[in-house]
Amino acid sequence: ENITTIACLLMMIIPVNWEKGEMLLDMDTVIKGFSLPTVLLIGGSLTLGSAMSACGVTKWVASGLGFMNTLPIIILLLVAALLTAVVTEFCTNMVVVAAFLPIMYSISVARGMNPIILMVAVTVSASLAFALPSGTPPTAIAMASGEVDLRDMIKYGFGFKVISVVVFVAIFYGVTMRFL
């Protein structure tokens, strides 16, 4: 958040044409291009994720995932990826990753496997949010544009999510198992 604010401020003071007083970003563009619903949606999902962490919901979820310790690796990867991809629809991907990485690390250590395997699977799967505008900034922007209908986004997004997760897990498992 702070990095984005600093970048925007810098774009407003860095000149493109010093003599004409033209900057990379001007206030008219900011005001005309500002989408309040998009900002509220992303801010709300970040707040929800922070509240989940602060209230212990993420620890509660971790305690409920104990069954994952006994699953074969391919199924474990698939469950972790699907779970992450679904939860990412309701919170932004950075919040989901921040909440799920410690969980995946604990599961990996309990199984005696390299934690990077599950952590990479979760991190990549968090980017597979295509169905709801709260999942990632690009989906929020697409929805705010008015060009995408929410029903179409949900219908095609969830189908594409399932296909993406299955293909990703299959390729990732194949590559990962070569190095173990």
pLDDT band, very low/low/confident/very high, at 77 (cuts 50, 70, 90) = very high
pLDDT band, very low/low/confident/very high, at 58 (cuts 50, 70, 90) = low
Over residues 2-31, the pLDDT tens digits come to 676 787 788 888 888 888 888 888 878 777
Asked if 128 and 164 count as a contact pair (C-beta separation under 8 A), the reply is yes
Helix (H) or strand (E) holding 15: strand 15-17
In 24-173, at which residue ranges do the beta strands (DSSP E only) sit?
none
Over residues 138-154, the pLDDT tens digits come to 787 888 788 888 888 88
In 37-163, at which residue ranges do the beta strands (DSSP E only) sit?
none
Backbone phi and psi for residue 20, each to the nearest 5 degrees, phi listed first: -90, -5
What pLDDT score was predicted for residue 180? 63
Backbone phi and psi for residue 89, each to the nearest 5 degrees, phi listed first: -65, -25
C-alpha distances in Å from residue 167, one per residue of 21, 63, 128, 129, 136? 50, 28, 12, 15, 20
pLDDT band, very low/low/confident/very high, at 166 (cuts 50, 70, 90) = very high
Determine the residue type at 153. Answer: M
**% of the chain with per-residue pLDDT over 70:** 87
